[in-house]
């Protein structure tokens, strides 16, 4: 991936006194290849590499940074430059509701993202209304209805029974939804549209018709980040016809390469506004260019991780836990289960690991991502759930027979139960040592 490649090319520069034409050309070649392999568009790559070269050559005097550090910084800055500084702001129309038109291919995540956006707007103090004009697939309208219910958002359903599914019906629904939103005091109308498997003129005509009818203040292109270069091509096609005002990259929790963000921004000129990082309504975050660049380059994304932790973890509970755990014996299997639940709230293990830097003490963690067994958490939780409260509070009474019963009740094996109890006993020991003043040593033992 891009970060590994960049790290490697930077390594070659290490130990060199200053940046010269020769020692930078290897690094530039690596950077070029790495960017191309991460789905960054060729035109973007060429431009970037030229900028990086020019800045690197000009920067050799008067700097305290080593050549490697200089290039890392230059590459970082240039990538951020391409992505731009804009974040999640929205244009408003003079007369409410401001219309947000969701555009994109089928399966890119329009319906899911419509819900996420509605929830985000609600939290920001707006009153959004949702409408689906995907009249061709009744299931698609039902999908949005379910999402809307789950986040308690306003939805315009409309009565389309018996009507032929065509562009006229699409426009009628859109018009009614806008009127309904205005009557209802909603300041934003999010229009979820039909997608196609590929771009065709029928789809584009329909989108153009909606644009003309609604004069949306935002036309957001929803891109599946997993589809790489294809996403870039369709972004261009949509932009050529509709002039998009922004993009949202979905499925960034998967194995997506960061390159799509760079390319879409460069090819369309429109800012990336949000990232989708999972299927649930709150797996959604404003796009921060410098963060994603850090992630691409392998410096991790500690800022996002911390923010997430702040948001989702219960501070009081964490402190209570620390106090109890450090007292040694107080740390029960129930506390252990609580801890697991807290960690789970932060997102999938994969998404957490991905945000750690791939250098320094965390080197090697990234490789672990492929081996993460998300089911493990659930298994451990169900084992603890299958214990009696008495057992949870006093693990020592869990003898062979009880272990068999617990394994059966949780659909696991006695070995799973044994493993869990062993881990738990180890944790207890470590916490106890930390609590009794052996803090640093115990911490080191936990890290190794």
Residue 140 C-beta: closest distance to ligand GDP, Å = 6
Task: Give the other-Cβ count within 10 Å of 87's Cβ.
Answer: 13
Matching residue, tokens 């244009």: 91
Tokens (6 digits) for 424 = 């738990």
> Binding to ligand GDP (CB under 6 A): which residues in 314-343?
none
Q: Is 212 annotated as a binding residue?
A: no
Q: Is 106 annotated as a binding residue?
A: yes
Q: Which of 128, 278, 298, 300 binds ligand GDP (CB under 6 A)?
A: 278
Q: Is 304 annotated as a binding residue?
A: no
Q: Which residue's CB is nearer to ligand GDP, number 106 or number 167?
A: 106
Backbone angles phi, psi at 42, to 5 degrees: -55, -45
Q: Is 110 annotated as a binding residue?
A: yes
How far apart are alpha carbons 186 and 130 in whole angstroms? Answer: 10
CA dihedral sign, ordered 152, 156, 159, 165: negative
Q: Which residue's CB is nearer to ligand GDP, number 197 or number 444?
A: 197
Q: Is 115 annotated as a binding residue?
A: no
Q: Which of 40, 129, 133, 140 binds Mg ion (CB under 5 A)?
A: 140
Q: Is 252 annotated as a binding residue?
A: yes
Q: DSSP letter at 371?
A: G
Q: Which does 276 bind (CB under 5 to 8 A by kind): ligand GDP, Mg ion, none?
A: ligand GDP
Angle between helix axes 315-326 and 414-433 (nearest 10 degrees) is 80
Three-class DSSP category at 81: helix
Q: DSSP letter at 270?
A: P
How far apart are alpha carbons 101 and 109 in whole angstroms? Answer: 14
CA dihedral sign, ordered 175, 177, 178, 179: positive
Cβ contact 171:195 at 8 Å = no
> Binding to ligand GDP (CB under 6 A): which residues in 249-268?
250-251, 253-254
Q: DSSP letter at 97?
A: P
Q: Which of 109, 158, 271, 347 binds ligand GDP (CB under 6 A)?
A: 109
Q: Is 195 annotated as a binding residue?
A: yes
Find the residue with minimal CB distance to ligand GDP: 276
Q: Which residue's CB is nearer to ligand GDP, number 192 or number 416?
A: 192
Q: Does 195 bind ligand GDP (CB under 6 A)?
A: yes
Q: Which of 277, 294, 304, 358 binds ligand GDP (CB under 6 A)?
A: 277
* Buried-state track 355-377, b at ≥16 Cβ within 10 A, e below 16: bbbbeeebeeebeeeeeeeeeee
Q: Which residue's CB is nearer to ligand GDP, number 105 or number 262?
A: 105
Window contacting ligand GDP (CB under 6 A); options: 119-127, 196-204, 277-285, 322-330: 277-285
Q: Does 96 bind ligand GDP (CB under 6 A)?
A: no
Cβ contact 83:289 at 8 Å = yes
Binding mask 69-108 for Mg ion (x = CB under 5 A): ----------------------------------------
Cβ contact 211:219 at 8 Å = yes
Task: Give the other-Cβ count within 10 Å of 65's Cβ.
Answer: 12
Window contacting Mg ion (CB under 5 A); options: 117-125, 139-147, 286-294, 345-353: 139-147
Q: Which of 98, 111, 217, 234 binds ligand GDP (CB under 6 A)?
A: 111
State CA 361 to chain mean position distance: 23
Residue 439 C-beta: closest distance to ligand GDP, Å = 39
Cβ contact 238:105 at 8 Å = no
Q: Which of 7, 9, 70, 111 binds Mg ion (CB under 5 A)?
A: 111
Contact positions toward Mg ion, by CB under 5 A?
110-111, 140
Contact positions toward ligand GDP, by CB under 6 A?
104, 106-112, 195, 250-251, 253-254, 276-279, 283
Known binding residues for GTP are: 104-111, 192-196, 250-253
């Amino acid at each position: 991936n891009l970060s590994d490649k960049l790290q490697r090319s930077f390594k070659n520069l290490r130990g060199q006194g200053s940046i010269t034409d020769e020692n930078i050309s290897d690094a530039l070649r690596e950077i070029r290849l790495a960017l191309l392999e991460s789905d960054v568009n060729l035109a973007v790559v060429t431009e970037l590499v030229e900028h990086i070269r020019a800045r690197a050559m000009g920067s050799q005097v008067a700097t305290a940074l080593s050549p490697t550090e200089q290039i890392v910084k230059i590459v970082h800055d240039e990538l951020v430059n391409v992505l731009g500084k804009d974040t999640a702001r929205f244009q408003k129309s003079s007369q409410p509701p401001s219309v947000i038109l969701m555009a994109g291919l089928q399966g890119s995540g329009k319906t899911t993202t419509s819900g996420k956006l509605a929830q985000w707007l609600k939290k920001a103090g707006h009153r959004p209304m949702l409408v689906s004009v995907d009249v061709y697939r009744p299931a698609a309208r039902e999908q949005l209805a379910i999402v809307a219910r789950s986040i308690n958002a306003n939805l315009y359903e409309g009565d389309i029974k018996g009507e032929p599914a065509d562009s006229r019906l699409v426009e009628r629904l859109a018009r009614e939804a806008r009127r309904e939103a205005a009557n209802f005091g909603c300041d934003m109308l999010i229009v979820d549209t039909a997608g196609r498997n590929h771009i065709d003129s029928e789809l584009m005509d329909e989108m153009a018709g909606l644009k003309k009818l609604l004069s949306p203040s935002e036309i957001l292109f929803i891109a599946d980040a997993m589809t790489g270069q294809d996403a870039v091509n369709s972004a261009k096609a949509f932009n050529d016809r509709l002039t998009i005002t922004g993009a949202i990259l979905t499925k960034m929790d998967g194995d997506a390469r960061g390159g799509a963000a760079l390319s879409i921004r460069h090819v369309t000129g429109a800012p990336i506004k949000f990232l989708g990082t999972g299927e649930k309504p709150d797996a959604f975050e404003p796009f921060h260019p410098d963060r994603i660049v850090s992630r691409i380059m392998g410096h991790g994304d500690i800022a996002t991780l911390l923010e997430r932790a702040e948001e989702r973890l219960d501070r009081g509970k964490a402190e209570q836990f620390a106090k109890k755990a450090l007292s040694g014996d107080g740390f029960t299997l129930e506390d252990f289960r609580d801890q697991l639940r807290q960690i789970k709230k932060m997102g999938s293990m994969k998404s957490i690991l991905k945000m750690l830097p791939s250098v320094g003490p965390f080197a090697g963690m990234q490789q672990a991502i492929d081996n993460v067994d998300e089911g493990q958490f659930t298994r451990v939780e169900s084992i603890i759930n299958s214990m009696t409260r008495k057992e949870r509070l006093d693990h020592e009474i869990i003898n062979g027979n009880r272990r068999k019963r617990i394994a059966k009740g949780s659909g696991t094996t006695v070995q799973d139960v044994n493993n869990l109890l062993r881990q738990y006993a180890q944790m207890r020991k470590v916490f106890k040592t930390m609590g009794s003043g052996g803090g640093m040593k115990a911490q080191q033992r936990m890290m190794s």
